[in-house]
């Protein structure tokens, strides 16, 4: 098995500006995927402006400023047409940790050059037109109000607040923060996008010299740090552990009840990462074959989907167990899921379960890296968390080395079933009230 997989050659270098570049050449198809990540995710949103990074990301597509005599300004429609005419796509999004710009383009030289310039303009010289913002704000407000009629949205919000408290990972866009934010706030986010903070991942039909030149072009219009200064950004606090269990029972009329429970999990650089990843596959991450699916869905038919997952980021993202079920079954399903989790934390997996997890994760490793898109996600992840460049080459060994004792110990360190936050929305019968 090992011999069938050559190592994934990832080249990494740092440009004079401080931008880090990661390249996997994949020449077979004349296309290129590029992801440019900045430390400007929603964890950096001021509480009164929660959601501003995501809004800035969306608004960056609404037009670009003039770039010189040969580069007239482009309004949102001209910009969008320009991308369509290139057969390419470019967009931005904000997660908890990162603000990401993503480019997908054909690699024919003339097209690629045009795509690079356009992307550079959109990242470096977005217009953030005030009139468009006014309309967008109204659209977002209406969309928020609609989302607030949905049971899954309301349950997720209650859970997030219970787990994260005041930590920025639990913040979200609201009508109040929408009303408070303006173009100046988006420009403020955009000014933090310095080349020295950029981590650029490229996968596709391109070589190193071409990639180096391309990245220079992409970042050329970003604000330059004065004297190549790269001021440190303020630290973000860690997610606090929960001091005690909490339960919210929320009345709602819907066809299904929403059940969520969990707590802060772990950060990506935690040494328990592999033990927790392998262990969660057994508990609730392994799809049809997980313990939660076996108990709640397969044996009892209580739900279509039950899952558990960690969301490790720069901070301890939540550990979440979730399911939906008929309202009169919510109590039973919740108790069952809690029992499964508690038992797993106390006992860990069996030898057979651990073997099965490894068979899947190790045996199926090639499926994690068999497209340009998957490679891009993996390498951008390596960049984001400063994982070693041979991370993909040693991944299967790391999984193989995990023991039952390690899983048990890691789960005992990380999860406290007696102190989790629980949300049940839309239950009927005894589960409807505490």
Partner 1 sequence: MKPLLLRLLGARTLPVWLWCFQLLAGQAHAQSGPPVTQFTLANGLTVIVKADRRAPTAVHMLWLRVGAMDEVDGTSGVAHVLEHMLFKGTAELKAGEFSRRVAALGGRENAFTSKDYTGYYQQIPSARLEDVMRLEADRFANNQWADGEFAKEIEVVKEERRLRTEDNPRAMMSEALTAAVFVASPYRRPVVGWMSDLDAMTADDVREFYRRWYVPANAAVVVAGDVDVDQVRRLAEKYYGPILARPVPSRKPRIEPLQAGQRRLEFKAPAEQAQVTLAFKVPGLNEPADAVAPGASPEDALALTVLAAVLDGYSGARLDRTLSQGAGRLADNVWAYNGLWGRGPQLFVLGGIPAPGKTAAELEAALRAQVARIASEGVTEAELTRVKTQWVAGEVYKLDSVFNQARELGSHWVQGLPLDAGERLIERLRRVSAQQVQAVATRYFGDDQSTVAVLLPQPLDPNRKARVPAAAMRH
Q: Could you say whether residue 104 binds partner 1 (CB under 8 A)?
A: yes
Q: Nearest Cα to 54, choosing from 96, 90, 100, 94? A: 94
Nearer to partner 1, 7 or 87 (CB): 87
Stretch that binds partner 1, among 100-108, 219-227, 341-349, 377-385 (CB under 8 A): 100-108
Q: Could you say whether residue 8 binds partner 1 (CB under 8 A)?
A: no
| Min CB(166)–partner 1 separation in Å | 25
Nearer to partner 1, 155 or 341 (CB): 155
| Min CB(168)–partner 1 separation in Å | 27
Site for partner 1 in 272-291 (CB under 8 A): 286-289
Q: What is d(CA 416, CA 423) in angstroms, rounded to the nearest whole number?
A: 16
Q: Could you say whether residue 364 binds partner 1 (CB under 8 A)?
A: yes
Task: Give the contacts of 71 (CB within 8 A, at least 6 positions apart).
Answer: 121
Q: Could you say whether residue 298 binds partner 1 (CB under 8 A)?
A: yes
Q: What is d(CA 349, CA 340) in angstroms, rounded to the nearest whole number?
A: 11
| Min CB(196)–partner 1 separation in Å | 31
Site for partner 1 in 303-362 (CB under 8 A): 303-305, 324-328, 356, 359-362
> What tokens does 429 get?
């019968």
Site for partner 1 in 59-78 (CB under 8 A): 61, 76-77
Q: At residue 245, what are phi and psi to the nearest 5 degrees? A: -70, 155
Q: Nearest Cα to 30, choosing from 162, 153, 205, 184? A: 205
Stretch that binds partner 1, among 184-192, 223-231, 245-253, 308-316 (CB under 8 A): 245-253
Q: What is d(CA 190, CA 393) in angstroms, rounded to the nearest whole number?
A: 36
Nearer to partner 1, 8 or 389 (CB): 8
Site for partner 1 in 155-174 (CB under 8 A): none
| Min CB(174)–partner 1 separation in Å | 15
Element (H, E) at 335: helix 330-347
The residue from 25, 86, 224, 332 that contacts partner 1 (CB under 8 A) is 86
Nearer to partner 1, 48 or 367 (CB): 367
| Min CB(403)–partner 1 separation in Å | 19
The residue from 180, 267, 369, 389 that contacts partner 1 (CB under 8 A) is 369
Residue 93: CB atoms within 10 Å: 14
Q: What is d(CA 244, CA 42) in angstroms, rounded to the nearest whole number?
A: 27
| Min CB(304)–partner 1 separation in Å | 4
Q: Nearest Cα to 76, choosing from 101, 88, 90, 59? A: 59
Q: Nearest Cα to 248, choosing from 260, 256, 240? A: 260
Stretch that binds partner 1, among 46-54, 140-148, 176-184, 223-231 (CB under 8 A): 140-148
Nearer to partner 1, 30 or 231 (CB): 30
Residue 90 β-bridge partners: 103
How many residues belong to the site for partner 1 (CB under 8 A)?
86
Q: At residue 124, what are phi and psi to the nearest 5 degrees? A: -95, -25
Q: What is d(CA 255, CA 53) in angstroms, rounded to the nearest whole number?
A: 35
| Min CB(371)–partner 1 separation in Å | 5
CA 369 from chain centre, in angstroms, equals 18
Stretch that binds partner 1, among 186-194, 231-239, 302-310, 407-415 (CB under 8 A): 302-310
| Min CB(13)–partner 1 separation in Å | 25
Q: Nearest Cα to 189, choosing from 103, 118, 79, 94? A: 94
Q: Could you say whether residue 138 binds partner 1 (CB under 8 A)?
A: yes
| Min CB(222)–partner 1 separation in Å | 23
Q: How many CA atoms lie within 13 A of 45 on its CB side?
A: 34
> What tokens does 382 get?
């390596």
């Amino acid at each position: 098995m090992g011999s069938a997989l050559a190592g994934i050659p990832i080249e990494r270098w740092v440009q004079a500006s401080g931008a880090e570049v990661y390249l996997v050449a994949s020449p077979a198809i004349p296309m290129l995927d590029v992801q440019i990540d900045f430390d400007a995710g929603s964890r950096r949103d001021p509480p009164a402006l929660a959601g501003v990074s995501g809004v800035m990301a969306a608004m960056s597509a609404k037009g670009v400023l003039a770039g010189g005599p040969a580069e007239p300004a482009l309004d949102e429609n001209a910009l969008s047409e320009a991308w369509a005419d290139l057969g390419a796509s470019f967009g931005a999004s904000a997660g908890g940790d990162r603000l990401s710009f993503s480019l997908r383009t054909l690699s024919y030289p003339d097209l690629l050059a045009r795509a690079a310039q356009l992307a550079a303009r959109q990242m470096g010289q977005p217009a953030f037109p005030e009139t468009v913002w006014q309309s967008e704000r109204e659209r977002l407000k209406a969309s928020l109000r609609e989302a607030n009629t949905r049971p899954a949205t309301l349950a997720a919000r209650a859970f997030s607040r219970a787990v994260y408290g005041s930590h920025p990972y639990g913040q979200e866009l609201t009508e109040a923060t929408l009303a408070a934010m303006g173009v100046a706030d988006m420009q403020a986010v955009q000014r933090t996008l310095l080349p020295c903070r950029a981590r650029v991942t490229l996968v596709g039909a391109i070589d190193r010299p071409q990639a180096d030149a391309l990245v220079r072009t992409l970042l050329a219009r970003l604000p330059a740090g004065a004297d190549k200064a790269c001021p440190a950004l303020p630290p973000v606090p860690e997610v606090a552990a929960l001091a005690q269990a909490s339960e919210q029972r929320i009345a709602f009329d819907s066809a299904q009840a929403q059940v969520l429970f969990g707590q802060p999990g772990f950060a990506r650089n935690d040494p328990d990462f592999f033990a927790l990843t392998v262990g969660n596959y057994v508990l609730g991450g392994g799809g049809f074959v997980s313990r939660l699916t076996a108990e709640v869905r397969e044996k009892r038919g209580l739900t279509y989907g039950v899952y558990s997952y960690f969301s490790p980021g720069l901070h301890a993202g939540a550990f979440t167990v979730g399911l939906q079920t008929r309202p009169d079954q919510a109590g039973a399903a919740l108790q069952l899921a809690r029992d499964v989790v508690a038992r797993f934390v106390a006992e860990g997996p069996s030898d057979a379960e651990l073997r099965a997890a490894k068979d899947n994760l190790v045996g199926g490793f090639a499926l994690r890296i068999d497209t340009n898109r998957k490679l891009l996600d993996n390498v951008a992840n390596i960049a984001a968390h400063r994982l070693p460049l041979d991370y993909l080459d040693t991944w299967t060994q790391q999984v193989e080395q995990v023991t039952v004792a390690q899983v048990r110990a890691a789960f005992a360190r990380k999860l406290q079933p007696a102190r989790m936050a629980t949300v049940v929305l839309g239950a009927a019968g005894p589960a409807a009230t505490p």
